[in-house]
């Protein structure tokens, strides 16, 4: 029996609508690989993958084999792209589960070729090229040797080629054009070596919104599916409006309940370190949520929640399992009242982007950090 008074509500209807919004934005000729890595950005990968598959997602993107296995065990039949490769010893399971690994190392190719040969099957792979991100992928100078290894692997099919942009949300970043140029050069080299990958993909959420030239014929939306995208910048300043919008809706609402109510006189220090001192008599609610479940400590004395159709500011330092909010003047407050930590109610909104700005973070981190101690309740 679930009794924890802090939970997250996940709207699968909003998730499906967001997927449809992305598909409409890029058009029917562009394949959408729906990214469900990091437990679907904290939303629950199995449940979200089921909803996305039902909505027509033919491709899902995960980080690694351990994220793909639960999807196959849950009956997910969509193609699954392992976006950060694999570890030695995982190749047989990858072939068995019909997963599509990203490759760039010669040993990737050798081990997969052996596994596919042993299984008596042909197996698709996506070749990743490092065009300037400096993380994963084969550099252009090393690409000929990798292509030679692929040519010597008759059981592998180079089905796709990809790269990753370092600054897709920075509109005037010169590195993006250079990365595009290098990716085009890589594709020419791949074709010259006799390969004809049917899929090419570069664009993440930011690029599919702002850089149509990067779409190729596959895009990899992640955080957009869950209702967010990073603010765009030009000349170091945030820009918005115009075409830099995608009408997606947040999928997750995070809630808790008031655990206790306290009355304090003026000049009372609250919480660890006494970082907040009441300026007048105050009515304070204690919430059973803290940084142990991912409620960011940087919201201390800065963030806010929604309770009884009012904003209530966080006062004092957020502790491991408790947070204080000032509910002075809010009528009818009682123990057990529902409190929205992330979400919207009657025109009031506290979203992951607001948390990210206050915490000098990103909506990705805010969502992914919501602990598994927080039960997810799925609404279709």
* CB 310 within 8 Å of CB 266: no
Alpha-helical (H) ranges within the chain are 12-26, 37-42, 45-55, 65-73, 91-96, 106-119, 143-151, 174-192, 205-210, 352-359, 363-368
Q: How far apart, in whole angstroms, are the C-alpha atoms of residue 210 and residue 232?
A: 9
Q: In 3-state terms, what secondary structure has residue 70?
A: helix
What is the CA angle 104-109-113, rounded to 5?
160
Q: Is 37 a catalytic residue?
A: yes
Pairing of β 79-82 and β 100-103: parallel
Q: How far apart, in whole angstroms, are the C-alpha atoms of residue 15 and residue 304?
A: 25
Catalytic residue among 24, 58, 272, 372: 272
What is the CA angle 232-233-239, rounded to 5?
70
* CB 350 within 8 Å of CB 340: yes
Q: Which residue has the tokens 């190719």?
A: 109
CA dihedral 114, 59, 35, 208 (to 10 degrees): 120
Element (H, E) at 101: strand 100-103
CA distances from 129 to 16, 52, 218 (A): 31, 28, 15
Q: How far apart, in whole angstroms, are the C-alpha atoms of residue 200 and residue 31?
A: 10
Q: Which residue has the tokens 């993006």?
A: 176
Q: How far apart, in whole angstroms, are the C-alpha atoms of residue 135 and residue 131?
A: 10
Catalytic residue among 37, 41, 228, 255: 37
Residues in contact with 190: Cβ distance below 8 Å, sequence separation at least 6, in sequence order: 127, 143, 147, 158, 161, 197
Least Cα distance to 282 among 272, 274, 270, 273 occurs for 270
Catalytic positions are: 37, 272
């Amino acid at each position: 029996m679930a009794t924890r008074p802090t939970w997250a509500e996940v709207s699968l209807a909003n998730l499906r609508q967001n997927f449809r919004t992305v598909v409409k934005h890029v058009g029917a000729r562009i394949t959408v690989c729906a990214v469900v890595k990091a437990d679907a950005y904290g939303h629950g990968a199995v449940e979200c993958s089921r909803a996305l598959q039902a909505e027509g997602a033919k491709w899902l993107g995960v980080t690694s084999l351990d994220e793909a296995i639960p999807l196959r065990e849950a009956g997910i039949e969509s193609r699954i792209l392992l976006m950060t490769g694999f570890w030695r010893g995982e190749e047989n399971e990858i072939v068995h589960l019909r997963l599509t690994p990203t490759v760039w190392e010669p040993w990737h190719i050798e081990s997969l070729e052996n596994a596919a040969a042993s299984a008596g099957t042909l197996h698709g792979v996506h070749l990743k090229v490092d065009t300037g991100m400096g993380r994963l992928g084969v550099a252009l100078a090393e690409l000929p040797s990798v292509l030679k290894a692929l040519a010597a692997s008759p059981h592998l099919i180079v089905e796709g080629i990809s790269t990753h942009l370092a600054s897709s949300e920075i509109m005037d970043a010169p590195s993006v054009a250079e990365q595009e140029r290098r990716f085009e050069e890589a594709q020419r080299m791949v074709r010259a070596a006799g390969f004809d990958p049917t899929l090419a993909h570069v664009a993440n959420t930011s690029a599919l919104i702002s850089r149509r030239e990067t779409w190729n014929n596959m895009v990899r939306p992640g955080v957009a599916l869950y209702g967010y995208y990073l603010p765009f910048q030009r000349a170091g300043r945030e820009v918005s409006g115009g075409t830099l919008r995608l009408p997606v809706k947040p999928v997750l609402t995070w809630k808790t309940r008031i655990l206790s109510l306290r009355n304090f006189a003026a000049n009372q220090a609250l919480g660890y370190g006494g970082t907040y001192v009441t300026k007048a008599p105050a009515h304070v609610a204690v919430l059973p949520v803290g940084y142990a479940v991912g409620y960011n400590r940087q919201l201390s004395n800065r963030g806010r929640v929604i309770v009884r159709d009012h904003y209530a500011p966080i006062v004092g330092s957020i502790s491991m399992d408790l947070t204080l909010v000032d509910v002075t003047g809010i009528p009818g407050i009682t123990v057990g009242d529902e409190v929205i930590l992330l979400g919207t109610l009657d025109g009031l909104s506290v979203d992951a982007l607001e948390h990210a700005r206050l915490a000098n973070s990103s909506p990705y981190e805010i969502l992914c950090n919501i602990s598994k101690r927080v039960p997810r309740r799925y609404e279709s």
